[in-house]
Every structure is written in C-alpha cells, then in structure tokens.
Amino acid sequence: MNRKEFIKQASVLTGASMVLPTSGFNTLMGANDRIRIGAIGINGMGWTDTKSLLKINGIELAALCDVDQNVIAKRITELGDAGKKVKTFTDYRALLDQKDIDAVVIGTPDHWHALMMIHASEAGKHVYCEKPIGNSIGECKAMVKAQQKYGNVVQVGQWQRSQQHFQDALAFIDTGTLGPIRTVKVWCYQGWMRPASIVPDSPVPSGIDYKSWIGPAPLRPFNASRFHFNFRWFWDYAGGLMTDWGVHLLDYGLLGMKASTPLSIVGLGGKFAYPELAEETPDTLTTLYEFEDFNLVWDSAMGIDNGSYGRDHGIAFIGNNATLVLSRGGWEVLEEIRSENKVAKPLETPKENGLDMHTLNFIEAIRKNDPSSVNCSIQDGAHVATVAQMGNISYRTGQKLIWDDNQNQFSDASANNKYLINKYHNGYSLPTI
C-alpha cells in the first residue's frame, strides 16, 4: 500500500466509525452535563489521567478500583472529603456493573488492557485506555473490533497527539522543506529507568489480590521485582521500553511519514547494561524498520540519558536539506551543512499541558457522542502498538521478519504461532468479537 492509498483507507475507516451503533451509551449534550467516571488501576498513570480528567467541568469521580487495597487507601486519603462519596472495588467487573458510571480510565499493567477495554465496551462505558493498548498484535485487533461493534468513545493515552507543537512539526514536514526524507531516527534513553534487583520470591503482601493482578498471565509466585512499576520489564505483562515509550515516539515517526506498516523488521539488543538485575526485556535495543522509500530506526537504552542531538528522547526526520528534531521539549530544524537552502528554525517549545488537552478531547468526544473525534482512536493506538510489537518479536525470534500486510501476519509461521497473540491462562480467555 502506498502513502496515498493508506491515507485514503484511513479516512474511510475514520468516517465509518461515525455511523456505528451507539445504543446503550449515555448521550451527553452540553458542556456542563455531568459525566461520572470510574478509574481502574490507580497506582501510576491511571491516577495521573484521573486527576487530569477531574480538572474538567462536570466530571465526577464515582469509583476507584485496584487490586492493591493500600493504593486505594492512599488515593482516598488524597481525595480528602471528596473521597467519602467514591465507591471502591478490587474487582473491575463490579465497577463495570455500576449503571451510573459513564466512562472508565484503564491504567493497569499492559496485560490487562485488552480484557478490561472489551468488557467495559460491552458494559456500555466509554474508555480512556493507557498505552500500549494491547500486549500482543492479536489483542490490538480484538480491541479495534470491540470498539467497532459497540460504538463507544475510546481514547488511547498517547497524549502527544493532543499537543500543538507536535502537530506544528508535522505541518512543517508536510511543506517538503526538509527535502526527501531518507531516514527517521526514534530514540529513547531513560536514565531514571532501571530494573530492580533480583530478589527471592516472597509471600504476597497484605492487602494485595495477587491472583487478580496476574489475571490472564501465567501464574507465578509473588516477586517484588516483577510487581507494580517493574512489570514493564517482563514479557508476561509488557514489552519493555519498546512498548512503554515506543508507542509515543514511533507514533510520530509514522505520522510524519504517513506510513502504514513496515516491509521488514530487524531487532537487535540484549541485557547489555544490567545483566545482574531483574529483567527479561532488553535494556538496549536497536530495531530497523524497512519501509518503501525510507528506513526508520528505533534506539533505546535504560540507565543513561545521553541520546541523539543531546536529548534523552526524540524523533529526527533526516532530509536532504535539513533535519527536524522533535521531542516533548519542542521541535527545531537543523540545516544540512551542504545545503544551499536556509531552512534552519530555532526551538519551538510547548505552550500547553498535552495530557490535559488529551483528556479534554476525550470528554468533548463523549459529549458530542462522536467516537471519530478523539485525537488517538483505538485504530491509531493499534497501529503503533502493532509496529512496536513487531520490533519486540523480531528481537525475541532473533530473525529478520517480513510482514505480509494482506494477511496481517509475518511470513514466518513459527513467529506467528509463538508471538502473534499471547496465550491466556487461569481460566481467562480473549472474547471472540
């Protein structure tokens, strides 16, 4: 599929989502109408998202859910008097049974996103789901089908899509000023992120429903170095920096090039920096994505900050005339030394809170009852999560993989059988939609 065909197809899909059935959902008209939300998974970004939503007029926090009673107690204390009216749950299904809840925030570890999003959609709730939306390519497909079936508003937590300076950078790329873009470099160097120490298994701490935390993942003894924030570094629950930050950054690399899926993928890396620490995902990873007329390179490293162009993260669009460098800190254009065109632009910094703009966009879409008006739809989230998963799968197989876009799978049958969709355990199953 070339770029024009991809854009045309994406437009058709977006338009189609506007006419999906919406029966069962609360149609909320007017900026002052009350919307009651429930938050599921409130130890990290789920709570940050919830606090952002509560800044919006007419938003009421109705319920909190977490498998860790200690986390619930902490949040209720933070809420003060407002917390007295908030119901609390350790089972998300009980929260979804509350008929007066209009929308939910899903901020759990990645391996729970698909089931919760699908069940919330079935229950008639709108959904703000943290990224990455799924922990496998198969989960991403199922989540897209669920939104298409139930017609609810779903916003994926890739909040950079709501930040103006990211959009301004894309508009500049579209002018063609950079010249032909041959390479896109995407990097993530996170000095503050390091795996935990290897510790022995231990009894489950008081107040934690550990079996519910495990959910559809393989049941293993409790280990503090796999729990809470550190779930990111284990394949059962997530995909390391590639899916944690990659879906934010690869997203804009793909958007800037109006790219769909790569032709081939090669992922190389390992536990080079911290082999003695508790992790399965690589602390160092370089992945090459081959597209029709450019290459995209992903470069990630844990424990160090000195990334390309003096930034710990970013996206660089390298053209014949100049390079545009984009990050959360802003964007600038660096002129090619040999270029005769004077195209350099100084750093343009962000002027608003991207997360607050993103949650506001979600609420506005609910009030308009228009799933197509979100800035990061489930289709958008599935696209970039799929590309990120491709990089991880290539790394795990140790092979260069070829992607068959018509069949939505790799040409390598063993890679498909082992990694295209994750297996569910403990009596859980991914709904067939």
Each domain of the chain, given as residue ranges in start order, spans: 3-161+355-379, 162-350+386-419
Pick the CATH number of 3-161+355-379 from 3.40.50.150, 1.20.120.10, 3.40.50.300, 3.40.50.720: 3.40.50.720
Same fold flag, 3-161+355-379 and 162-350+386-419: no
Q: How far is Cα 201 from Cα 154, in angstroms, rounded to an integer?
A: 38
pLDDT in tens, the chain (433 residues): 333 343 334 333 333 322 222 334 444 334 458 999 999 999 999 999 999 999 999 999 999 999 999 999 999 999 999 999 999 999 999 999 999 999 999 999 999 999 999 999 999 999 999 999 999 999 999 999 999 999 999 999 999 999 999 999 999 999 999 999 999 999 999 999 999 999 999 999 999 999 999 999 999 999 999 999 999 999 999 999 999 999 999 999 999 999 999 999 999 999 999 999 999 999 999 999 999 999 999 999 999 999 999 999 999 999 999 999 999 999 999 998 876 777 899 999 999 999 999 999 999 999 999 999 999 999 999 999 999 999 999 999 999 999 999 999 999 999 999 999 999 999 999 999 8
Q: Residue 151: left (phi > 0), alpha (psi -120 to 50), or beta?
A: left
3-state secondary structure at position 323: strand
pTM to 2 decimal places:
0.91
Pick the CATH number of 162-350+386-419 from 3.30.360.10, 3.30.420.10, 3.40.630.30, 3.40.50.300: 3.30.360.10
Angle made by CA atoms 390, 190, 330, in degrees to the nearest 5: 90
Phi first, then psi, for residue 327 (nearest 5°) are: -150, 180
Q: How far is Cα 308 from Cα 325, in angstroms, rounded to an integer?
A: 10
According to DSSP, residue 212 is labeled: H
